Amino acid sequence: MHRHPDDYIKPELMACCGAREIKDGDVVIVGTGFPTMAANIAKYTHAPNATLMQESGVFDARPRRPALSVGDPCLNPGAAMIGGLVDIMGMFLQAGWIDVGFLSGSQVDKFGNINTTVIGDYNKPKSRLPGSGGANPIGSLAKKVLIIALHNKKRLAEHVDFITTPGYIDGPGSREKWGLPDDTGPHVIITNKAVMRFDKDTKEAYLA
């Protein structure tokens, strides 16, 4: 009899890796898809007192099915609060109350900077991307940022073409230089092949 299951798929394993980064009692801002899966795995296993919130303003949602968007009505029944974007992104996030934020992007570099703006030169891009949404404030102000990315050369770049969401920017001291709060920033990059953390001194990602 196997001690460990072998009938899982990689996205499920990635979600479990994300769930492990959430501690009991954490306040977590999630979106849809993978982050929701990871956050709910944590809440229903080792972190029952974690509080999950959506950018749209739903606080401590307890949906009975996976949400299709951050504004899905299934998030509302049983939630502790149904507010708005300003409540979550303005009050909770800017007050420093968010422990964990999930992000992804088209490019992620060794300092955890995320690009969701353009590929190529900003003024003459090869392609334009969806933009920041709430990613910039989450990456700027959440205490720990968990980054989800596919493991390939296009996604994991030496340097991003454009910094939509700041990681450690260009190395030690950069976040502080640009006025971002202490003890915030990227915590881990989770891919379909590896988990990478950030060196405390160089602020560069390394294979964990």
Positions annotated as catalytic residues are 55
> Assign residue 2 a region: left if phi > 0, alpha if psi is -120 to 50, beta otherwise?
beta
Please name the residue that has the structure tokens 């001690």. 3
> Measured between alpha carbons, how far is residue 45 from residues 19, 20, 50, 184 in Å?
9, 10, 11, 26
Inter-residue contact 46 to 24 (CB < 8 Å): yes
Q: Amino acid identity, residue 112? A: G
> Measured between alpha carbons, how far is residue 198 from residues 6, 8, 130 in Å?
29, 28, 27
Sign of the dihedral through C-alpha 168, 171, 172, 173: negative
Gap between the Cα atoms of 41 and 35, Å rounded: 10
> Measured between alpha carbons, how far is residue 82 from residues 58, 72, 105, 196 in Å?
5, 12, 28, 35
